[in-house]
Structures are given as structure tokens and as C-alpha cells.
């Protein structure tokens, strides 16, 4: 009985990863009802959780889940006495085998619709996680530090806007793609950088958000082979994620990049990321490509001392030209500080004191403190660390800054 239960749990976990988005996407296409699609998908998985441990895992889990979800949709539509046409569509669903083409298209439709720029970014993220990744509303709330009620409200609002504003359920025309793809990539990038850790003891153990982001980015890259920025984003995610094993010390304190044990970095991910970057044409580098190249400089260097900071500073300069932002300027100043000496970096930081987007934050203070430390300006460095500590957003960051300050 135990083996059957374990096999069922494994199959369920695997099926959830691969089938949830497909299921929801297909149901939305057929019924046009987002809430119904999610509910029926959820009920299908709940039914699987009850039946598979008892009956065994079906030969084709995807087909089992699809049939169950469609039947559920049919039931509910019948009971709500919906218009005849919609019911016909659902009935047609029962006899419709799943060809490969439309299934892939369905998920692409879903991604582009969830990530429509007419939706607020936070709405896009919530909708993507719910409909594509199958996270529960509570899980999404936990990931973004919001209550379940607030997150539920956000999803309701998003679906309402889709309906009121007439956001269509389709892949954009080629002409519209340049203005639509950035919206998708922004969501995937945000999912990746949020990277939360799931709670233990969940029925189906969730993977970290970083894995969801990488999985979705892979999917979009496969479905849109002609878009280099998608591959660049995937490379960026892989190259950053490769460092994850070395990023936190045993005490939970973050380990800065220059002190990480590189032997713990994931060589497989680095190799994959490097291969992706290798295929990019520098002439068409977008913001993700540039960031991927920067990450690659770090990941390929055997030791922090031999990282090519001059090249990194140049890449940040190109990035700043594409996507001007004080945070990019900050990163560039740090790189210049390592390439041309701390005084050069400090000089660049001065310009940022007037930019209210960074002036009050802790990153600017922390970067200045670090450069002052490297410059040997001890008294000023201490004061800068104090300022950074006052603004530090969490305990882990505080611990790191305190350690640096104590070393002076």
C-alpha cells in the first residue's frame, strides 16, 4: 500500500509540473471561462490524489486528468444552464484527441494573455503563477509577502480586466510581438528573482519559484525559437541559479559573490548558460543578453580575482544605454570600482546621490561603504556601513553588513 501511495505521489508531482498549464490552457480555449478552467483542473488533480493511490497510476496520466477535468466542466456548465453554443463546444471537447500543435499553442496563448501589458505587472505575475504553474492562492501570497485574501482579490481584478477590456486569448500577431514579448519576459524575470522556498508538508511539494521560472522560460524559448532575448533570459537564469548552492552560508547569512565557494556552483547549468550565450549575436544584444554576458564573466572565472571587471563595466555601460536606470548605474560604478580602483567607482556614485530612486535605499550606501573600505578610508567606511545598516531590509543583509563593518 505504501509503494502504491509513493508511486502515486511521485506521478502526481510529475503530472502537476507538466500537465497543469496544458490542462488550464485547453479549458480556457474551449470554455472561455478562466475561473471555471482553474476550478476544473484543480478538481481533476484532487480526484487523482484520491484515486491513483487506490487504483494505481494510469498509463497516460495526462489523458486521465484531461478527461476528468473536461467532464467536470461539462457537469458545471450543464448545471448552470449555460447557452447552447458553449455547451456544444464542451461536448465537442469530449471527442477531441489532443494533437501536439494546438496544445503547444494553448500554453503560448495562455502565457501571452496572462502577461498582457494591459494588466498590471503584479496581476500578470499572480495570474501566471495560478494558471500556468498551478500554485494555490495562498502559495502565491506567501511568495510575494501578501495575504491570501489580497492575492485572491488581485486575481479577481485581473480576470475582470481581461473581460471588461476585451483582452483576447491568443498569440499576438508578428507585428505586435516586439511590444508584447517584453511583457512576458518581465514576468518570467520577476518570477525568477523572487525565488521563494516552499513550505514542507504541502500535499504536492512545490519547487522553488526559480525552477518554475526556468521551466516557463524554457517553454517560451522552445515555442519561440526566433527570439534571442528569450534564450538570453534563460541563459541569465541558469547562470545565476548555478551559484545558488554557494550563495548562503551554514548560518543562513548570504555569502557575497567574491567569497563564494565556486566548487559548489552547478557546472551543468553554467555549461548550458554558456552555450546559450555563445549562440547570441552581440550586434542584437538586448538587456537580458547583456546581463547574461555579465553573469557569464563571473561564472567562467576560476577565481574572483581574475574576473574581467573592465569588460563587465563596459557591458553595464551598454546596458545603461538600453535601459537607463540608477540601479544599472550603481552596478556599473561597483564594476568600475573593481576595474579602475575604488576612487573611480566612488566618483560615479556621487551622481546617484541626487537620484531619489536610489538615494534613500540601502544598496547605494552598502556599495559606497564597500568601496570606501577597499580604498582604505576607514572612518568614512564605518559611517557608510552604519548608514547601510540603518536601511538594511532584513536580518540576513544586516548580518552581512555587520560582519563587514566589524572587519574594519
- Interacting residue ranges for another protein, rule: CB under 8 A: 116-120, 123, 157, 160-161, 164-168, 170, 172-173, 175-176, 178-180, 183
Q: Give the shortest CB-357-to-another protein separation in angstroms.
A: 18
What does the buried/exposed string (b/e) look like for 263-280 if buried means 16 or more CB atoms within 10 Å of the residue's CB? eebbeebbebbbebbeeb
Measured from the CB atom, the residue of 125 and 336 that comes closer to another protein is 125
Sign of the C-alpha dihedral, residues 205, 190, 272, 329?
negative
Q: Give the shortest CB-119-to-another protein separation in angstroms.
A: 6
Sign of the C-alpha dihedral, residues 223, 19, 4, 67?
negative
Measured from the CB atom, the residue of 17 and 318 that comes closer to another protein is 318
Question: By three-state DSSP, how is residue 118 classified?
Answer: coil
Q: Give the shortest CB-178-to-another protein separation in angstroms.
A: 7
Q: Give the single-character DSSP code of 254.
A: B
* Those residues with Cβ within 8 angstroms of residue 145's Cβ, 6 or more apart along the chain or in another chain: none
Q: Give the single-character DSSP code of 126.
A: H
Q: Give the shortest CB-293-to-another protein separation in angstroms.
A: 22
Measured from the CB atom, the residue of 24 and 115 that comes closer to another protein is 115
Residue 62: phi and psi, rounded to 5, are: -60, -45
* Those residues with Cβ within 8 angstroms of residue 175's Cβ, 6 or more apart along the chain or in another chain: none
Is there a contact between 142 and 196 (Cβ–Cβ < 8 Å)? yes
Q: Give the shortest CB-124-to-another protein separation in angstroms.
A: 9
Residue 291: phi and psi, rounded to 5, are: -65, -35
Q: Give the shortest CB-62-to-another protein separation in angstroms.
A: 30
d(CA 13, CA 15): 5
Measured from the CB atom, the residue of 279 and 357 that comes closer to another protein is 357
Measured from the CB atom, the residue of 19 and 329 that comes closer to another protein is 329
Q: Give the single-character DSSP code of 197.
A: P
Q: Give the shortest CB-317-to-another protein separation in angstroms.
A: 17
Measured from the CB atom, the residue of 161 and 215 that comes closer to another protein is 161
Is there a contact between 103 and 219 (Cβ–Cβ < 8 Å)? no
Measured from the CB atom, the residue of 53 and 183 that comes closer to another protein is 183
Amino acid at each position: 500500500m505504501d509503494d502504491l501511495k509513493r508511486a502515486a505521489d511521485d506521478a502526481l508531482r510529475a503530472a502537476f509540473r507538466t500537465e497543469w498549464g496544458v490542462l488550464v490552457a485547453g479549458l480556457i480555449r474551449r470554455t472561455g471561462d478562466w475561473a471555471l478552467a482553474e476550478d476544473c483542473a484543480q478538481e481533476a488533480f484532487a480526484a487523482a490524489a484520491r484515486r491513483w493511490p487506490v487504483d494505481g497510476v494510469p498509463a497516460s496520466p495526462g489523458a486521465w486528468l484531461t478527461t476528468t477535468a473536461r467532464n467536470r466542466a461539462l457537469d458545471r456548465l450543464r448545471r448552470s444552464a449555460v447557452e447552447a453554443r458553449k455547451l456544444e463546444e464542451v461536448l465537442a471537447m469530449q471527442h477531441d484527441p489532443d494533437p501536439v500543435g494546438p496544445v503547444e499553442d494553448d500554453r503560448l496563448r495562455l502565457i501571452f494573455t496572462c502577461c498582457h501589458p494591459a494588466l498590471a505587472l503584479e496581476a500578470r505575475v499572480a495570474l501566471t503563477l495560478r494558471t500556468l504553474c498551478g500554485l494555490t492562492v495562498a502559495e502565491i501570497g506567501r511568495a510575494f509577502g501578501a495575504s491570501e485574501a489580497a492575492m485572491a482579490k488581485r486575481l479577481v481584478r485581473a480576470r475582470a480586466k481581461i473581460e471588461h477590456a476585451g483582452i483576447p486569448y491568443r498569440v499576438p500577431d508578428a507585428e505586435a510581438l516586439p511590444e508584447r514579448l517584453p511583457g512576458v519576459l518581465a514576468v518570467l524575470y520577476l518570477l525568477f528573482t523572487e525565488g521563494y522556498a516552499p513550505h514542507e508538508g504541502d500535499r504536492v511539494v512545490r519547487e522553488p519559484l526559480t525552477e518554475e521560472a526556468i521551466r516557463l522560460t524554457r517553454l517560451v524559448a522552445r515555442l519561440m525559437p526566433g527570439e534571442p532575448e528569450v534564450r538570453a533570459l534563460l541563459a541569465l537564469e541558469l547562470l545565476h541559479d548555478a551559484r545558488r548552492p554557494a550563495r548562503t552560508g551554514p548560518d543562513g547569512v548570504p555569502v557575497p559573490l567574491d567569497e563564494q565557494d565556486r566548487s559548489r556552483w552547478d557546472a551543468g547549468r553554467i555549461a548550458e548558460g554558456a552555450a546559450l550565450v555563445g549562440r547570441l549575436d552581440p550586434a542584437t544584444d538586448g538587456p537580458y543578453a547583456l546581463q547574461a554576458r555579465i553573469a557569464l564573466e563571473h561564472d567562467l572565472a576560476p577565481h574572483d580575482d581574475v574576473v574581467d571587471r573592465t569588460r563587465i563595466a563596459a557591458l553595464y555601460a551598454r546596458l545603461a544605454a538600453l535601459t537607463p536606470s540608477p540601479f544599472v548605474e550603481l552596478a556599473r560604478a561597483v564594476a568600475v570600482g573593481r576595474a579602475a580602483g575604488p576612487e573611480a567607482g566612488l566618483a560615479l556614485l556621487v551622481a546617484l546621490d541626487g537620484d531619489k530612486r536610489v538615494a534613500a535605499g540601502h544598496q547605494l550606501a552598502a556599495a559606497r561603504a564597500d568601496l570606501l573600505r577597499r580604498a582604505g578610508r576607514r572612518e568614512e567606511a564605518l559611517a557608510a556601513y552604519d548608514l547601510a545598516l540603518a536601511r538594511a531590509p532584513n536580518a540576513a543583509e544586516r548580518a552581512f553588513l555587520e560582519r563587514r563593518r566589524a572587519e574594519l
